[in-house]
Amino acid sequence: MKPAAFDYVRAESLDEALDVLAAEGADATILAGGQTLVPMLNMRMARPRVVLDIMRLPGLDRIDIAEGAIRVGATVRQRALERQADLGKHQPLLAAALPWIGHAQTRNRGTVCGSVANADPSAELPLVLVALRGEIELRSRRGARRAAANAFFTGIMSTERKDDELIEAVSFPTAHAGAGYAFREIGRRHGDFAIVACAAVVDTHKARLAIGGVADRPILRELPLPGSADLTDALDAFAADLDARDDLHATAAYRRALVRRLGLQTLQEAAACRA
């Protein structure tokens, strides 16, 4: 299958890219690592008038670790972040989740911001961003703004990004003293999208668990600490409240059972590795 015809624009500057988005709006689609967009074009599930290639934009290929955050630019490949020195020290949750994304070959091409923009409910990076209460930096001809991860994802493959906006970078808060982090997922095969993925953060006072692959977006909830008497009931309530669905891969009931079981294990692992 070949894509429907489109105009290809390789932007050489951020200004040029923002001009194209301002002029074309929803008729333009951003091309980053192409790992999702190119198959969608080939299957004609995406038929933009303009494909705007951002991978040559200067200055967006940086990973900056400062002021309590890991800031990842729009053209940073997933593999580059995975290989970032001391990533496990700076943010163990990111280091644990990255190897679960697809395969080394897809991570060599796919970008971190592209995964966030794509907003697949089973994707690891949007889940980690929500679990860590990270932020998304958006830019358009109208200016720049920051969006909280928890409000950014609005449904399956949908976000509150405006058509004339580009994700310039995303920020993952770094690990804080006294907190433990853990990530677990169940999929049919390694490299497949998660049937259920769990990201946990536990410190001395509270625990939080984010769930991917169950509802139409990653969902975060604060829970009692592992070891407390009311955790099981709270996890049961969380699993029941999630808008789970049946599909080819698993039933809603199976997903909820995994939230209870895998969720507990992930919280216990995070509690056990509190620094």
Ligand X SMILES: Cc1cc2nc3c(=O)[nH]c(=O)nc-3n(C[C@H](O)[C@H](O)[C@H](O)COP(=O)(O)OP(=O)(O)OC[C@H]3O[C@@H](n4cnc5c(N)ncnc54)[C@H](O)[C@@H]3O)c2cc1C
Q: Which residues are near ligand X by CB under 6 A? A: 29-37, 74, 101-102, 106, 110-111, 113-115, 117-118, 120, 123-124, 166-167, 193
Q: Which is nearer to ligand X, 194 or 220 (CB)?
A: 194
As a whole number of angstroms, the distance between CA 40 and CA 145 comes to 28
> Nearest 5°: CA angle at 198, between 197 and 204?
170
Counts of helices then strands in the chain (DSSP H, E): 11, 14
Q: CB 51 → ligand X: shortest distance, Å?
A: 9
- 3-state helix, strand and coil shares in percent for the chain, rounded to the nearest 5: 35, 25, 40
Q: Which is nearer to ligand X, 109 or 224 (CB)?
A: 109
Q: Which is nearer to ligand X, 116 or 179 (CB)?
A: 116
Q: Which is nearer to ligand X, 169 or 201 (CB)?
A: 169
Q: Which is nearer to ligand X, 46 or 225 (CB)?
A: 46
As a whole number of angstroms, the distance between CA 119 and CA 195 comes to 15
Q: Which is nearer to ligand X, 149 or 231 (CB)?
A: 149
Question: Which residues, 6+ apart, have CB-to-CB distance to 189 below 8 Å?
Answer: none
Q: CB 201 → ligand X: shortest distance, Å?
A: 20
Q: Which is nearer to ligand X, 39 or 68 (CB)?
A: 39
Q: Which tokens go with 43?
A: 């299957």
Q: CB 237 → ligand X: shortest distance, Å?
A: 28
Q: CB 38 → ligand X: shortest distance, Å?
A: 6
Q: Which helix (H) or strand (E) holds 199?
A: strand 196-202
As a whole number of angstroms, the distance between CA 55 and CA 6 comes to 18
Q: CB 102 → ligand X: shortest distance, Å?
A: 3
Q: Which tokens go with 77?
A: 């490949």
As a whole number of angstroms, the distance between CA 213 and CA 192 comes to 12
DSSP 21-79: HHHHGGGEEEESS-TTHHHHHHTTS---SEEEE-TT-TT-S-EEEETTEEEEETT-BHH
Residue listed under structure tokens 């358009």: 140
